A and B are shown apart, each in its own frame.
Chain A
Amino acid sequence: MAILIIFVCIKQVPGITEVRIDPKTNTLIREGIPSIMNPMDKNGVELALEIKEKHGGEIIALSMGPPQAEEVLREALAMGANKAYLLTDRVFAGADTLATSHTLALSIKKIIKESNEKKYIVICGTQAIDGDTAQVGPELAEELGIPQITYVQKFEMSGDKIKVERVFRTEEVVIIEANLPALISVLKEINTPKHPTMAGIVDAYDKKEVIHLDAKAVNADKSKIGLTGSQTEVWKIFVPERKGEHIKLSGTIEEISNELCQKLKEDKIF
């Protein structure tokens, strides 16, 4: 019988919501900031655990990053993932979302091929708290040539079919069905991740391993990975300058809207 492979993609991110930038060098200040598992990816791991508990299968956690990104994969293993792969190689560095998803796709294809399993699902967090692009999930689905459903807040699975609630616009939910294999990107509303147990942490270090894959291991075409494979380039990172004043309006809704219209007229906005 076929085993379901549940891939979870994880990014290691700085553990803050507000990015501090060195005004002189225009780079991120990373000093004294602990690295954490991207919060929505943690929801992804939790969903993978729920799927495994109900339907069986094997959870494979995946990440691309420097060797120290191993820590977030260990955390995923501690939560209950079965295996972890870290794509790490100097030539992967500087990748934009496209080059990242291409590289992740190579590793997924390799694992699928080697395991001879056709039934799989890929789970991503919708977006990472550092880049906030929400692009890697969709691009990864394209690379793999499988259906994608983004912004998922509820998930069900039966047989080879999944049925999910996708938040389309604010307060607008659509229910979508898809056949496996498929990729979903999840929102934090989908579940509440549980802390790993102490035994889980011990196992993550003593009984499980994080397998490192370099460019050669995934047969990467150098023109499609890292900085060379990137179609976009970060030109500048900056904190937006606060322009002008802001006014706080208070009172009843009617009073506030009247005052707001008045101000907008005064400022000749309409």
Chain B
Amino acid sequence: MNFKLTPKQEMIRKITRDFAEEYIAPIAEESDQNSQLDPRVMEEMKRMGYFGSCIPQNYDGAGLDTISFSIVTEEIGRIDASWSITTGVHASVCAYPIYAFGTDDQKQEFLPPLARGDHLGAFVLTEANAGSDAAGVETNAYLDGDEWVLNGSKIFATNGGLCKTLLCVTKTGQKGRRPELTIFIIDTDTPGYSVGVREDKLGVRASNTSELVFQDVRIPKENVLGGVGQGFRLGMQILEYGRIQMAAQTVGLGQAALEASLKYANERVQFGKPIGQFQGVQWMIADMGVEVECARLLTYKASWLCDNGLDYGLVGSMAKLKATEAAMKATHDAVQIHGAYGLMKAYAVERYFRDAKMAEIYEGTSEIQRMVIAQTLLRRGWQF
């Protein structure tokens, strides 16, 4: 048992923190308000390898272990959740699944540009009638010679309007009452593919969330990921892996709320003393500290389990649930501690609060996490 990070992990944290504070922090509010990802940040993130954090170096990735990957996502999320969700989704639910489940040819073709950040990636499951219930997917494909022909539409796709490589959960048949799902790797330059509405959101506003439309999109047979009919099983595994990063980025968000609250509580004087000296504020700060640390420990444990080839599904779900709810509570209290200032756009806690609410919903709502956790516990019992 050892909670100490390795010197390498410490260095990854330090450098990522320096980068995020130097490049992202000064423009985070502006990006939130104009809903744009800054191109200068994008270029620097590509150069530093954040788009290929979890991809091995022989595919042009950085070759980070999962704990380091989580630290990276946490540190970027500490400054701006729009960036951590952009890179987190790209790397954990698009690039990594191609590495984990793809054929050698698929890896050679798709991974290096994804890992370098030259191509942005996305993973799409959610549709008008499917989201939490993956079995409701209606986007479908049929085989025509050597190609699959895809039709349908996806909504709320993170990175949707920007991506070049897309993993699309598609219905390819019916097995009794359950649909047969298959995941296709789609190059978004393929004719018939188009981007619909770009959503205007409550939080993570700079990240791109779009509707995607498929009209007779012809996909070569070779672009099936992990086999025809494997979509449900793979999809769940992909989301399981992605959850760790969603947890990590909200650990960062909770940490940001905590740090802003500490600073403000020490500086703001009312009734003749800093408000941090009042018990009402202290209780909020204490809870914030405990919650964020719990979330971090769960996230690092899930990452550690993953690095050691152990089952991380249960702890990953716990981490996602705890981290997002901790961030929601922490950002809520951070706004409260800041009083009216906390309601103002000029203060980052206002953005944190909106970003936290997003995290309780995307990539598996809190309710879905509780379902996963409860079903796992009921099936397996509690094992430490």
| Chain A residue contacts of B152, Cβ below 8 A | none
Tell whether A201 pairs with B53 under 8 Å between CB atoms, given A195-B18, A195-B19, A195-B48: no
Tell whether A205 pairs with B7 under 8 Å between CB atoms, given A195-B15, A198-B48, A198-B49: yes
A19 within 8 A of B: no
Establish whether residues B62 and A78, one from each chain, have CB atoms under 8 Å apart when the complex forms.
no
User: Please, how many angstroms separate the alpha-carbon atoms of A205 and B47 in the complex?
Assistant: 19
A197 within 8 A of B: yes
**In the complex, how many angstroms separate the beta carbon of B9 from the nearest chain A beta carbon?**
9
| Chain A residue contacts of B68, Cβ below 8 A | 198
Task: Write out, one digit per residue, whether chain A residues 176-207 have a CB within 8 A of any chain B CB (1) or not (0).
Answer: 00000000000000000011111101101110
Establish whether residues B19 and A202, one from each chain, have CB atoms under 8 Å apart when the complex forms.
no
A71 within 8 A of B: yes
Q: List A13-70 residues whose CB lies under 8 Å from chain B.
A: none
Tell whether A205 pairs with B8 under 8 Å between CB atoms, given A195-B19, A197-B49, A199-B49: yes
User: Please, how many angstroms separate the alpha-carbon atoms of A201 and B62 in the complex?
Assistant: 9
Establish whether residues B15 and A202, one from each chain, have CB atoms under 8 Å apart when the complex forms.
no
User: Please, how many angstroms separate the alpha-carbon atoms of A71 and B61 in the complex?
Assistant: 24
| Chain A residue contacts of B62, Cβ below 8 A | 197-199, 201-202
| Chain B residue contacts of A71, Cβ below 8 A | 7, 11
User: Please, how many angstroms separate the alpha-carbon atoms of A74 and B12 in the complex?
Assistant: 11
A75 within 8 A of B: yes
Establish whether residues A202 and B7, one from each chain, have CB atoms under 8 Å apart when the complex forms.
no
| Chain A residue contacts of B50, Cβ below 8 A | 198
Task: Write out, one digit per residue, whether chain B residues 36-64 have a CB within 8 A of any chain A CB (1) or not (0).
Answer: 00000000100111101100010001111
B72 within 8 A of A: yes
User: Please, how many angstroms separate the alpha-carbon atoms of A195 and B15 in the complex?
Assistant: 7
Q: List B47-87 residues whose CB lies under 8 Å from chain A.
A: 47-50, 52-53, 57, 61-64, 68, 72
Partner of B8, one of A194, A195, A197, A202: A202
Interface size on B, residues (CB 8 A): 22
Establish whether residues A74 and B7, one from each chain, have CB atoms under 8 Å apart when the complex forms.
yes
**In the complex, how many angstroms separate the beta carbon of A137 from the nearest chain B beta carbon?**
26
User: Please, how many angstroms separate the alpha-carbon atoms of A233 and B65 in the complex?
Assistant: 47
Q: List B1-52 residues whose CB lies under 8 Å from chain A.
A: 6-8, 11-12, 15, 18-19, 44, 47-50, 52
Q: Which of B19, B44, B48, B53 has the most CB of A within 10 A?
A: B48
Residue of A nearest to B115 (CB): A199
User: Please, how many angstroms separate the alpha-carbon atoms of A27 and B174 in the complex?
Assistant: 76
User: Please, how many angstroms separate the alpha-carbon atoms of A71 and B12 in the complex?
Assistant: 12
Partner of A74, one of B11, B18, B48, B64: B11
Establish whether residues A198 and B8, one from each chain, have CB atoms under 8 Å apart when the complex forms.
no
User: Please, how many angstroms separate the alpha-carbon atoms of A89 and B299 in the complex?
Assistant: 40
**In the complex, how many angstroms separate the beta carbon of A66 from the nearest chain B beta carbon?**
15
| Chain A residue contacts of B47, Cβ below 8 A | 194, 197
Establish whether residues A202 and B48, one from each chain, have CB atoms under 8 Å apart when the complex forms.
no
Establish whether residues A198 and B53, one from each chain, have CB atoms under 8 Å apart when the complex forms.
yes
**In the complex, how many angstroms separate the beta carbon of A145 from the nearest chain B beta carbon?**
37
User: Please, how many angstroms separate the alpha-carbon atoms of A204 and B53 in the complex?
Assistant: 16
Residue of A nearest to B12 (CB): A201
Establish whether residues A198 and B64, one from each chain, have CB atoms under 8 Å apart when the complex forms.
yes
Q: Which of A197, A201, A202, A204 has the most CB of B within 10 A?
A: A201
Q: List B88-108 residues whose CB lies under 8 Å from chain A.
A: none
Residue of A nearest to B51 (CB): A198
User: Please, how many angstroms separate the alpha-carbon atoms of A194 and B18 in the complex?
Assistant: 11
Partner of B63, one of A75, A196, A199: A199
| Chain B residue contacts of A202, Cβ below 8 A | 8, 57, 62-64
User: Please, how many angstroms separate the alpha-carbon atoms of A202 and B65 in the complex?
Assistant: 9
Establish whether residues B15 and A199, one from each chain, have CB atoms under 8 Å apart when the complex forms.
no
| Chain A residue contacts of B53, Cβ below 8 A | 198
**In the complex, how many angstroms separate the beta carbon of A196 from the nearest chain B beta carbon?**
6
Partner of B72, one of A75, A198, A206: A198
**In the complex, how many angstroms separate the beta carbon of B15 from the nearest chain A beta carbon?**
5
Q: List A74-107 residues whose CB lies under 8 Å from chain B.
A: 74-75, 78
| Chain A residue contacts of B8, Cβ below 8 A | 201-202, 204-206
| Chain B residue contacts of A196, Cβ below 8 A | 15, 48
**In the complex, how many angstroms separate the beta carbon of B293 from the nearest chain A beta carbon?**
19
Task: Write out, one digit per residue, whether chain A residues 134-156 have a CB within 8 A of any chain B CB (1) or not (0).
Answer: 00000000000000000000000
Tell whether A78 pairs with B49 under 8 Å between CB atoms, given A195-B19, A199-B62: no
| Chain A residue contacts of B49, Cβ below 8 A | 197-199
Q: Which 8 A-B pairs have the closest CB atoms?
A: A198-B62, A198-B49, A205-B8, A199-B62, A197-B49, A197-B48, A202-B63, A199-B49
Sample 16 A-B pairs with CB under 8 A, ordered by A number: A71-B11, A74-B7, A78-B15, A196-B15, A197-B49, A197-B62, A198-B68, A198-B72, A199-B57, A199-B62, A201-B8, A201-B12, A202-B57, A204-B11, A205-B6, A206-B8
Which positions in A face B, CB cutoff 8 Å? Answer: 71, 74-75, 78, 194-199, 201-202, 204-206
Which positions in B face A, CB cutoff 8 Å? Answer: 6-8, 11-12, 15, 18-19, 44, 47-50, 52-53, 57, 61-64, 68, 72
Known: A195-B18, A197-B62. 15 other contacts (CB 8 A): A71-B11, A74-B11, A75-B11, A78-B11, A194-B47, A195-B44, A197-B49, A198-B48, A198-B49, A198-B62, A198-B68, A201-B11, A201-B62, A202-B8, A205-B8
